[in-house]
Structure 1
Amino acid sequence: MKKRRGYIIAGIVVAVFSGIVGVRQYMNYLAQPLDEVEVTDSAEVDNIVRKYGIPVSDYQIQYGIVEPGQNLSVILRKHGLSLADVHRLTESAKGVFDVRKIREGQAYAVFSTEDSIPQKAYFVYEESPKSYIVFDLREDYRVTRGENPVTWERKTVGGKVESSLWVAMQQSGTNPQLALDLSNIFGWSIDFFGLQKEDEFRVWYEQETVEGKELQNFHVLAASFAYGDSTYYAIPFVQDGEELYYNADGNSLEGEFLKAPLDYYRISSRFSNSRFHPVLRRYRAHHGVDYAAPKGTPVYAIGKGKVIAKAYQAGGAGNYLKIRHNSRYTTTYMHLSGFAKGIKVGSEVKQKEIVGYVGSTGLSTGPHLDFRVYDNGTPVNPLTIKSQPKKPISDANRPQFAIVRDSLLRVLRGIEVKADTSRHVQ
């Protein structure tokens, strides 16, 4: 996405300094093809033949899916290659592809000649929907990497939350993974764990596709979210070489602290001075928020800071981290299954850097994150802390921002809102 954002910077700069057609140039730019972005989803086997640039009419093709326990040697031996052949291919692949990274569930194809005694000519492994590895089984045994062309399709979606944002996306005919992108954009302003019925969203976005197959990679062009009594807007704009999302007043949506330390999972216990402890079977203070999430879910630092503690507490926090963000705020992340690579006492961390993973270590009945915030050493409710926003739109950029904002707000107002028709309210 960094490449993509780089081109957005260029597009906006052209529109701003031309001073003639402003928004029209920006919109024309958005219509241009986009660069490729790395993803790792599985491939569709029935589309595999069209991606390799191999003249398929000259070959017989066998399709397959990597099964559990299979590696390159097992697959190729199954198709008649010798151990010596496999060794030559493995050596040729060095610097191009690590054959140990062949994963189960991925698609592959074997191309054989149309001769009376067919000979294996190519083995092609689908690394992702966009990239593949070609193993030439002929005399030279070359190994090369190829890329399928991608396109970005522009779409809109609007809906009302009746049970959850995830379900509302599905009801609107949109990939619910887009909900995660919205939670990242609005995460400093909106508590996505506390959405209410009738909260409303509108999104203009692009989705990456390969030969008609939709990938789970999005770029939000504009969004609005009616949350409670307020409506929040997300307007992308490039300032000082960085694209950020701003509200309608030109203030950055990104704040000093994230609203939550992990992506879009439910709150199982809130901040309380008297909570019934499920293990100890008695009432006591719970000065944090518990986020129920699957084991291994990434946990983020809510803001930049320094790790001041990394330890294990058997009868309580389990694996835990403490991060000092400034002279006022410190945060604690408890019951982790493990820590992110390289994290140690003294480590400097960035906002939304992964610091650990959800677990159930210590005094815990199931996988969750117990997250705590301290203001000058006093525990405070993490859901109510105020976060100062990043730098707003400068006075010099406000005229150009107003042009972009007004055009995008017109697009958002024209998006139809569909209700979530699911029956159960969470």
Structure 2
Amino acid sequence: MNKRNIFIAGVVAVVLAVGGTFYYMHHMAQPLDEVAVTDSVEVDNIVRKYGIPVSLYDIKYGLVEPGQNLSIILRKHGLSVGEVHRLTKKAEGVFDVRKVKDGQAYAVFTTRDSIPQTVYFVYEESPKSYIVFDLKGDYGVKRGENPVTWERKTVGGRVKTSLWVAMQQCGTSPQLALDLSNIFGWSIDFFGLQKEDEFRVWYEQETVEGRELQNFRVLAASFSHEDSVYYAIPFVQDGEELYYNADGNSLEGEFLKAPLDYYRISSRFSNSRFHPVLRRYRAHHGVDYAAPKGTPVYAIGKGKVIAKAYQAGGAGNYLKIRHNSRYTTTYMHLSGFAKGIQVGSEVKQKEVIGYVGSTGLSTGPHLDFRVYDNGTPVNPLTIKSQPKKPVSEDNKEQFAVVRDSLLQILDGIKVH
């Protein structure tokens, strides 16, 4: 049973016992020598940092500057070329020293002798992990993991201009908007949200020593859009966790609502649109999504690539995918194709197939996305998608317990 299954099982058991009070486990990665990593200003209040007893050493903190590599930094702190080479060999199989990146933090531990010696160098690979280079004796290199916790939060708000802005106005990371667009992406057009659409979300956010990371788990959500309320209730069935609506139907469908994450529509499906390059009116049987160059483009459903080509005076780099006997989709003006994508490739739903660009007849980076129903172009924003398997009869009672408890929590979230 995976961690999310444990969460769902816990919801059911504890809700029945204590009426909606939930228990959850902190997901902790084991740090090097069981050490919690904190900011440098807190060093005096702890005994160890990165698994190193800080009271024995002086510590200097820095950031990797543009053009610097491990050798430059270590030689700056007294190591010879030979010593750096020996340490690099020790790192093989633990950390590729060529992957030291600009802007990442590091710490240098030196002795408090009359002639200080560098004894530890620590490179912060990410907010979650770090690499300790032990410069004593025969040298050693170890990877450490910072303790991670998940904090539960709620947010409720109204859309004024966009969901992204609404999240910011509610004091919540706008990255959560991407998670919602992925969850509701089969049933709500997030490129066509309306003013006063409402959302309520109960979620967990990953943190490291109080620092919030941009990783979320949506525990329950509701979205009011076009006179309807859409719910997202996580539930495990047949070993797979999906989000379901209040009736127990899966939110995931055969097709995504959009082939990329949450950017604006710059041109809609039309039989007579003024072309910005050709300077005349003609049919535009697709939807243009304005997005930065390099933005990943997804297949909206599983299928087979039936065309991969370049058209200088039109589509630029484009792909065409056949999804079934009825529907095909086309993705145009790509800056490039995903690795391994060829004619005949089988692709999965939401697999990256290419990247937004401005190739062919285009005035700026965007994706021109088109859908064909038995060869006839149709508006991509109006196609219907069959949902995945609903909650089974055997699981409906258990689902109802989970649903009712989560809806109670959502109803208690204040909308700002």
Q: Deviation of residue 45 (structure 1)?
A: 6.1
Matches within 5 A, 1:286-297: 286-297=284-295
Q: Aligned to 1:352, which of 344, 350, 353?
A: 350
Matches within 5 A, 1:286-325: 286-325=284-323
Q: 1:319 to 1:36 in 2, by over 3 A?
A: farther
In the aligned structure 1, how far is the partner of 2:19 from the partner of 2:321?
Answer: 41
Q: Aligned to 1:32, which of 22, 25, 37?
A: 25
Check conservation: 1:187, 1:259, Cα contact below 8 A: yes
Q: Deviation of residue 15 (structure 1)?
A: 6.9
Counterpart check, 1:209 vs 2:202: no
**2:4 matched residue in structure 1:** 8
Check conservation: 1:320, 1:335, Cα contact below 8 A: yes
Q: Deviation of residue 75 (structure 1)?
A: 1.2
Q: Deviation of residue 350 (structure 1)?
A: 0.7
Check conservation: 1:12, 1:26, Cα contact below 8 A: no
In the aligned structure 2, how far is the partner of 1:127 from the partner of 1:112?
Answer: 21
In the aligned structure 1, how far is the partner of 2:347 from the partner of 2:91?
Answer: 36
In the aligned structure 2, how far is the partner of 1:10 from the partner of 1:248?
Answer: 21
In the aligned structure 2, how far is the partner of 1:23 from the partner of 1:343?
Answer: 49
In the aligned structure 2, how far is the partner of 1:268 from the partner of 1:24?
Answer: 51
Deviations 1:349-368 (A, max 9, x none): 11111111101111110000
Deviations 1:86-112 (A, max 9, x none): 111111111111111111111001110
**Structure 1 vs Structure 2 CA RMSD:** 2.0
SS where residue 383 of structure 1 aligns? helix
Amino acid at match of 1:317: A
Check conservation: 2:38, 2:49, Cα contact below 8 A: no
Check conservation: 2:307, 2:321, Cα contact below 8 A: yes
Q: 1:358 to 1:346 in 2, by over 3 A?
A: same
In the aligned structure 2, how far is the partner of 1:178 from the partner of 1:355?
Answer: 24
Gaps of 5+ in 1: 38-42, 419-426
**1:172 matched residue in structure 2:** 170
Range moving further from structure 2, 80-89 or 191-200:
80-89
Amino acid at match of 1:276: F
**2:191 matched residue in structure 1:** 193
In the aligned structure 2, how far is the partner of 1:315 from the partner of 1:368?
Answer: 16
In the aligned structure 1, how far is the partner of 2:144 from the partner of 2:282?
Answer: 59
Matches within 5 A, 1:77-226: 77-226=75-224
In the aligned structure 2, how far is the partner of 1:166 from the partner of 1:36?
Answer: 31
In the aligned structure 2, how far is the partner of 1:31 from the partner of 1:377?
Answer: 51
Amino acid at match of 2:85: H
Check conservation: 1:44, 1:107, Cα contact below 8 A: no
SS where residue 4 of structure 2 aligns? helix
In the aligned structure 2, how far is the partner of 1:25 from the partner of 1:107?
Answer: 45
In the aligned structure 1, how far is the partner of 2:322 from the partner of 2:184?
Answer: 24
Amino acid at match of 2:396: R
In the aligned structure 1, how far is the partner of 2:312 from the partner of 2:346?
Answer: 26
In the aligned structure 2, how far is the partner of 1:59 from the partner of 1:389?
Answer: 60
TM-score, structure 1 as length reference: 0.91
> Percent of pairs identical after alignment?
80
**2:385 matched residue in structure 1:** 387
Amino acid at match of 1:306: K
In the aligned structure 2, how far is the partner of 1:207 from the partner of 1:346?
Answer: 40
In the aligned structure 2, how far is the partner of 1:99 from the partner of 1:195?
Answer: 46
Amino acid at match of 1:270: R
Q: Deviation of residue 371 (structure 1)?
A: 0.5
In the aligned structure 2, how far is the partner of 1:215 from the partner of 1:344?
Answer: 36
Q: Deviation of residue 385 (structure 1)?
A: 0.3
**2:367 matched residue in structure 1:** 369
Q: Deviation of residue 77 (structure 1)?
A: 1.5
Check conservation: 2:305, 2:344, Cα contact below 8 A: yes
In the aligned structure 2, how far is the partner of 1:326 from the partner of 1:318?
Answer: 25
Check conservation: 1:126, 1:133, Cα contact below 8 A: yes
**1:424 matched residue in structure 2:** none
Q: Aligned to 2:277, which of 276, 279, 296?
A: 279
Check conservation: 1:48, 1:109, Cα contact below 8 A: no
TM-score, structure 2 as length reference: 0.94
Amino acid at match of 2:283: A
In the aligned structure 2, how far is the partner of 1:298 from the partner of 1:132?
Answer: 29
Q: Deviation of residue 27 (structure 1)?
A: 6.5
SS where residue 275 of structure 1 aligns? strand
Deviations 1:275-320 (A, max 9, x none): 1111111111111100000001010010011111111111111111
Deviations 1:99-132 (A, max 9, x none): 1111111100111011111100011000111100
Check conservation: 1:293, 1:358, Cα contact below 8 A: yes
Q: 1:260 to 1:25 in 2, by over 3 A?
A: farther
Q: Deviation of residue 76 (structure 1)?
A: 1.1
Check conservation: 2:158, 2:415, Cα contact below 8 A: yes
Check conservation: 1:15, 1:26, Cα contact below 8 A: no
In the aligned structure 2, how far is the partner of 1:169 from the partner of 1:136?
Answer: 44
Q: Deviation of residue 34 (structure 1)?
A: 2.1
* Equivalenced residues, count: 406
